[in-house]
Copies of this chain bind each other. A is one copy, B any other.
């Protein structure tokens, strides 16, 4: 193998090969420059084996745009394609096609409208609408899906962890079990969705946040190996980091050694005018140990010192720990609310791999083709009505009720404007009898969700900082119903069609039975 060449492996050839075999076919048939439209949407919320999300957090657009901006067919990539052979031994790609790619094989022709990062998003809603020449909209598919599916998946998991932890700090610790360099995208997405900080050093600096972390068991182990003992290790740590002293107390025995040693060090620190930060528990019964640790720390006068939990946490484990603390802490004379408010969660593997559901089912489907001067809706039926796509050039609206809580996302045809209407009819995408009418007086805001992002390759959208994206996310989460936010058995959020779009979809569906399934 050649040594890993990032430019080649992560550039324009970071794609499924069939995009290129199709591209050459479009070129050969001279249909490559026909304008086409593709929608990106996911079909279902992540289902984590026994508990399921009721919403997702949108993420990945900035990474995608960075990739699109720098990825184009250059000599390096073209030479590899030139070497590719057909089964008859002749070059797979024609020189005409390769020359076209050399001059035009970039994303400067692409226009894009999208729901921005950090927003709460739902199934079957076009999160991104891509328009451009058929050939480049096709070539974009694999990278677009790769960037967006993964980051939405991880941002969503982070949001669930933050929800389970009742808003306390969540730290992303996942690098050691993360997916190679994809870990960096996971760190970013986690911080969009709910993680407050990360142990990932380089990525944290790039994102403008200080990386977090103190020490591992191996530090204690090393000091013990040299005869200093656990207390010696803690003292050394406190000496060099007196105002940043957070000690891992479970290397030997949490209650008999770790916490008593930590308290000795904390008392010394305080005498020297420093306030200790906290302790970390990384094994054992974390609910029970949290209560006992709080009790011991409280008795020693450290009732604000933080308690960091780690070790295979996920949203269900955090929920269970908090439930148990609420039930058990009073029996030990510990106030559960005060304890819960001093806790911090270090979450690794389950966050960066979205444990229980390791992929989002996002797809990129052709929904219109520009022919004879107009966008003609394109369609693909499916055996299951839920999987039949919503055709055409559309707009996406979010409807808020009089409490300013989002009650539905509404897909309309592009020329419709529900903000003008006296009442909004919401139709279920598949079922004819399921509809709902919202009267104007019960609606506070109807928001157009997609923004203009790219116009023929030109960036129209000012990429926000991570801190702004995090605020967008927080703000959106305040505007969804608590029932939708439940981490188990969430309330179903409505994604609906306007009457016109419903009629278009179902008339195409009816015609398709007599026309081999496909219509434009």
* A-to-B contact residues, CB < 8 Å: 1-6, 8-11, 13-22, 24-26, 28-29, 31, 34, 36, 38, 49, 62-63, 66, 77, 80, 83-88, 92, 134, 138, 141-142, 145-147, 149-151, 173, 175-186, 188, 199-208, 210-222, 224-226, 229-230, 236-237, 240-241, 243-244, 251-253, 257, 277, 283-284, 349, 353-355, 358-362, 365-366, 369, 371, 376, 378, 380, 382-383, 463, 465-466, 516-518, 520
Contact = CB atoms under 8 A, between A and B. Distances in A.
A37 to B, nearest CB: 11
A297 to B, nearest CB: 19
Nearest to A31: B226
Given A206-B4, A355-B359, A244 B86 contact: yes
A283 B236 CA distance: 62
A252 B149 contact: no
Contacts of A9: 184, 202-203, 206
Contacts of A18: 199, 213-216
Nearest to A92: B244
Given A86-B244, A182-B179, A380 B465 contact: no
B226 A14 contact: no
Given A8-B202, A87-B243, 7 more contacts: A4-B206, A14-B183, A25-B215, A25-B237, A31-B222, A38-B218, A86-B241
A222 B134 contact: yes
A177 to B, nearest CB: 4
A470 B23 CA distance: 32
Nearest to A465: B1
Contact of A199 (B17, B66, B84, B213): B17
A272 to B, nearest CB: 12
B222 A366 contact: yes
A45 to B, nearest CB: 15
27 contacts: A1-B62, A3-B66, A4-B63, A8-B205, A9-B184, A13-B205, A16-B201, A17-B199, A17-B213, A19-B216, A21-B215, A22-B218, A25-B240, A31-B226, A86-B244, A88-B243, A138-B218, A145-B177, A146-B177, A178-B179, A179-B185, A181-B185, A182-B183, A182-B185, A221-B518, A225-B518, A226-B369
Contacts of A151: 180
Contacts of A5: 206
A134 B181 CA distance: 25
Given A141-B176, A180-B185, A378 B205 contact: no
The 8 lowest CB-CB distance pairs between A and B, nearest first, are: A182-B182, A13-B202, A179-B182, A18-B213, A179-B179, A180-B185, A353-B358, A145-B176
Given A13-B201, A353-B359, A218 B25 contact: no
B184 A10 contact: yes
Contacts of A88: 243
A63 B4 CA distance: 8
Contact of A210 (B24, B84, B362, B466): B84
A516 B17 contact: no
A84 B244 CA distance: 12
Contact of A516 (B83, B145, B257): B257
Given A88-B243, A244-B86, A1 B206 contact: yes
Contacts of A184: 4, 9-10, 14, 180-181
B222 A253 contact: no
Nearest to A182: B182
Contacts of A355: 358-359
Nearest to A65: B3
Contact of A179 (B26, B150, B284): B150
Given A5-B206, A8-B206, A20-B201, A520 B186 contact: no
A211 B17 contact: yes
